[in-house]
């Protein structure tokens, strides 16, 4: 079982690789778990944190057709296509977004089609495919109406994956991710970057800006639960997916005020003092177009689950990611 | 006012050109009708039926980037992008469908973007963007779920047009067409080809095969009304479109049995004897995935209208298209 992870040097990509190494297996075409012999991490920068003979690192442009055909071969049984330009960046640099989010997705599918052995292919999609006037809870039957280039590009990737699956070129599945929080590392150009920053920075004693109103409702998933869900979706038998290749992953619907309350509970009252509230209309427009919740009936029936609470998410961040040698293994308490 | 029609040698393209020549004007960016100075017909074959100095004919590959940039220039105010590979053909030849239906649509938008003067751009889309489990009447809020490569490619074109419009690169609009009937000429590779053939061939004394059950419900629009609608949608001020660039054009919901009844009424009882009923699972699968009706509230509010009845559609075919010098001007009666 050879696995390819695009965006393999990114934060989700590296975590997924670690999870797969630890797990050691993935479902093969017949549904039986097979030993993972190789995990190829493809990204523009090298994934360096691995010391495992099963890891292969390939660096290059994700929209390079030749590179993709060299990376995805007849030996590839499973592809996790995570490489993407984030929402804010795709909005600022239209051509970059089209190349990485649309062209690369299509080239991944084409590489699979020409390789010819119908690999399982998982695309990550996003709350950003929804927009416009939405019901309080988005349903699987709600029309997509993306209000950002990122959302459009993700929605097109979903469509392509559906058709390549219907045609039998790949065994595809789309995991629509809630906004990931708490993402470790530094702020990025995602419109939702603040959804991690307002927790992460205060817990690290640093300043954070919240660009939206406290009552703004977000649909959130922890990195830990996201990785578990991606593996679970890739492991589902195609038959379980029924007529749609898309799974809206369970999230929790939390207001920004709720998030700050959880921050105070885990990090102490003073933690919230690191947050400056300064609304940014460009971010509010994009984030405000996303659903605050979607229906999880289908995902739940498929065995997928959400985080228990936002407080649990914050505690998981402290456990998994808070920097500092002492903190990594520290018991769960105010930090 | 310079207009470009892609697929300009096709049946809808030529009719649209004739309509525009006869009309003489289209709405400019300010909403005021402007005289049409040039209509460029771009297609793989030359449109030959015109004797009008305003017509320019360009032949070449619609997915040729250089050709599109030469055709769509700073002088272009209005683009009707009609060029397409039909549903049955896109299903059989995946790569051709992707190139003509997807790549060319994107290249048209890119040519408009790089020309830089924000032309009005109309894309024709289709019932084929819907599919799967559908409500009896499809709503504007119903999720797209295309069950054919053609439908996927059209849905992607819609998404791209929406984003290019939101970004201010074009002033785009999508006219989702019901199945066009009665299309003149010969059968083609559209899965819906029979929806014209079972009327056209009998009226011309020729044999036709009906590949679906008589109770199959179709959502139909005449060529005459389709052309009127395309012009009307292109003439709408952008403000009238509101939050969506898409208009589901009004059609009439008719069963195949109803169609045959209308054929008999116009062409006589014996006309139906030219039809052989022979079900074709491949066609039934595609056509059966399309909606039999969609909600026309939005289109009606925008001033668009459907045909009066299928009998009126058949009579319009006899008036406009039935071959033979005597028949063209003959009074409406059994033929």
pTM of the model: 0.93
Per residue in B117-126, pLDDT (tens digit) is: 999 999 999 9
Q: Which residues of B touch A149 (CB under 8 A)?
A: 163, 167
Minimal CA separation from A88 to chain B, in Å: 14
- ipTM score of complex: 0.92
Burial class (CB in 10 A: 0-12, 13-18, 19+), A74: exposed
B211-236: per-residue pLDDT in tens?
999 999 999 999 999 999 999 999 99
Q: What are the sequence ranges of the domains in chain B?
A: 2-177+222-248
- B308-332 mean pLDDT: 76
Least CB–CB distance from B144: residue in A144, A166, A243: A144
What band does B324 get if pLDDT is binned at 50, 70 and 90? low
Q: Which residues of B touch A133 (CB under 8 A)?
A: 243
Percent of chain A with pLDDT over 90: 90
Rounded to an integer, the average pLDDT of B46-70 is 95
Which pLDDT does position A18 carry in this prediction? 97
Q: Give the architecture (CATH level 2) of A2-178+221-248.
A: 3-Layer(aba) Sandwich (3.40)
| Residue B294 β-bridge partners | B138
Hey, what are A186's tokens?
């530094």
pLDDT at residue A332, as a whole number: 37
Of residues B279, B288, B134, the one with CA closest to residue B209: B279
Instruction: Decide: A69 and A42 in contact? Cβ < 8 Å.
Output: no
Q: What is the pLDDT of residue A331?
A: 39
Q: Which residues of B touch A152 (CB under 8 A)?
A: 159-160, 162-163
Q: Are strands B275-277 and A171-177 parallel, antiparallel or unpaired?
A: unpaired
> Do A102 and A150 form a contact (C-beta atoms < 8 A)?
no
What the block records as the tokens of A284 is 């509010």
Task: Please compute Rg for chain A using Cα positions.
Answer: 19
pLDDT digits (tens, 9 = 90+) for B259-307: 999 999 999 999 999 999 999 999 999 899 899 999 999 999 999 999 9
Answer yes or no: are the C-beta atoms of A304 and A253 closer than 8 Å: no
B29-64 in b/e burial notation, b at 16+ Cβ within 10 A?
Answer: eeeeeeebeebbbbbeeebeebeeebbbbbeeebbe
pLDDT tier, B327 (very low <50, low <70, confident <90, very high otherwise): very low
- Tell me whether residues B159 and A141 touch, CB distance under 8 A: no
Q: How far is CA A45 from the centre of its chain?
A: 18
Where residue B243 falls among pLDDT bands split at 50, 70, 90?
Answer: confident
Q: Which residues of chain A have pLDDT under 70?
A: 324-335
Point out the residues of A that are catalytic.
150
Q: In this predicted structure, what is the pLDDT of residue B335?
A: 34
Give the CATH number of domain B2-177+222-248. 3.40.50.720
pLDDT tens for B144-154 read: 999 999 999 99
CB contact under 8 A, B163 and A149: yes
**Cα distances (angstroms) measured from residue B327 to each of A35, B207, B317, B330:** 73, 20, 11, 5
């Amino acid at each position: 079982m050879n696995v390819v992870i695009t965006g393999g040097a990114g934060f989700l990509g590296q975590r997924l690789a670690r999870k797969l190494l630890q797990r050691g297996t993935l479902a093969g075409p017949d549904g039986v778990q097979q030993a993972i012999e190789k995990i190829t991490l493809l990204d523009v920068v090298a994934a360096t944190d691995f010391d495992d003979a099963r890891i292969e690192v390939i660096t290059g442009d994700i929209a390079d057709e030749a590179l993709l055909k060299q990376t995805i071969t007849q030996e590839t049984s499973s592809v996790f296509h995570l490489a993407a330009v984030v929402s804010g960046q795709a909005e600022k640099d239209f051509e970059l977004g089209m190349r990485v989010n649309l062209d690369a997705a299509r080239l991944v599918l084409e590489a699979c089609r020409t390789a010819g052995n119908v690999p399982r292919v998982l695309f990550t999609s996003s709350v950003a495919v929804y927009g416009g006037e939405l019901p309080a809870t988005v349903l699987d039957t709600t029309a997509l109406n993306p209000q950002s280039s990122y959302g459009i590009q993700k929605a097109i990737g979903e469509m392509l994956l559906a058709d390549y699956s219907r045609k039998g070129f790949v065994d595809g599945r789309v995991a629509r991710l809630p906004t990931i929080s708490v993402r470790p590392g530094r702020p990025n150009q995602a419109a939702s970057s603040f959804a991690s920053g307002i927790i992460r920075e205060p817990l690290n004693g640093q300043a954070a800006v919240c660009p939206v109103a406290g009552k703004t409702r977000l649909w959130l998933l922890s990195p830990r639960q996201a990785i578990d869900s991606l593996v679970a979706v890739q492991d589902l038998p195609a038959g379980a997916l029924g007529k749609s290749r898309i799974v809206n992953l369970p999230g929790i619907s939390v207001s920004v005020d709720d998030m700050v309350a959880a921050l105070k509970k885990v990090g102490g009252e003073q933690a919230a003092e690191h947050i400056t509230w300064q609304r940014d209309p460009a971010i509010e427009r994009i984030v405000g177009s996303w659903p605050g919740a979607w229906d999880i009936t289908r995902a739940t029936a498929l065995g997928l689950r959400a985080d228990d609470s936002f407080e649990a998410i914050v505690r998981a961040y402290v456990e998994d990611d808070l920097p500092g040698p002492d903190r990594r293994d520290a018991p769960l308490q105010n930090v």
